[in-house]
Amino acid sequence: MFESVTYLPLLGKPLIAYLGILTLLLVLLTVSIPLMNKRGFHAIPFRWHPWFAAAAVCLALIHGAMGILAYF
* Cα–Cα distance measured from residue 24 to residue 5, given in angstroms and rounded to the nearest whole number: 20
Q: Phi, psi at residue 2, to the nearest 5°?
A: -75, -20
When divided into structural domains, the chain yields a total of 1
Range of the domain at 49: 2-69
HSE-CB at 60 with a 13 A cutoff on CA atoms is 11
At 7, the pLDDT band (50, 70, 90 cuts) reads confident
Residue 36: pLDDT above 90? Answer: yes
- Residue 53 confidence (pLDDT): 96
